[in-house]
Copies of this chain bind each other. A is one copy, B any other.
Amino acid sequence: MVSTIIKRELSRQLLLETGLKLFSEKGYEATSIRAIAKEACISLGLMYNYFTSKEDLLREIFLSGQYDIEASFATEQTSDSGITGIEQHILNTVALLKEKREFWRLLHSLRMQSTIYQEMKSPIDKQIAYIQKMIERNLLEIGFKNPSQEALLLFASLDGIASHFLMDKTYPIDKMANYLIQKYKNSSNYE
């Protein structure tokens, strides 16, 4: 009985991973249940034992990905080594982008279209607002005169860098991160 529960969870995880992989590659609409079943080496109907529909699978993939990211951002401020909060945030963002590449690709490809994404939008928006506030606090700490405007800019810059990295694996994301960090180290003197 116990191993059944474990096995069930394993099958569920396999479907979540395979779904994420194909959704992020080809897009949600262009990926069929048949393609997911084939990729995961299971039968066509099995998905419906774990998820009520294709949309439900997407929802659960989102939920699972969000949980990981939330956890990562939550522990961000704990580390109090010599580096600033901004530096920590930038490095953390880059690490997350690399680690959860498929999830971010899915997010970036879905967020522009209204119908499917709109119902999953609200928790993500909350998370974004939270990150925004965190950046603002960190910018205020290093003496920025206009932290809310600068936070908006930094957020957009990081988002743009993320987009380019998600579209092109060879994008020099580490160089960009270091360049950004350097900028904020230098600018802390005169802003």
Contact = CB atoms under 8 A, between A and B. Distances in A.
Interface of A: 25-27, 29-30, 105, 108-109, 111-116, 146, 149, 152-153, 155-161, 163-164, 166-167, 172, 175-176, 179-180
Contacts of A112: 27, 105, 108-109, 166-167
24 contacts: A25-B114, A26-B114, A27-B27, A27-B29, A27-B112, A27-B113, A29-B29, A29-B30, A109-B112, A109-B113, A111-B167, A112-B166, A152-B176, A153-B161, A153-B176, A155-B160, A155-B164, A156-B157, A156-B161, A156-B163, A159-B164, A160-B161, A160-B163, A163-B163
Contacts of A158: 160
Chain multiplicity (copies):
2
Contacts of A156: 157, 160-161, 163-164, 176
Contacts of A164: 155-156, 159
A123 B179 CA distance: 29
A4 to B, nearest CB: 38
Contacts of A26: 113-115
Contacts of A113: 25-27, 30, 109
Contacts of A109: 109, 112-113
Contacts of A116: 30
Nearest to A186: B190
Contact of A149 (B111, B152, B163, B179): B179
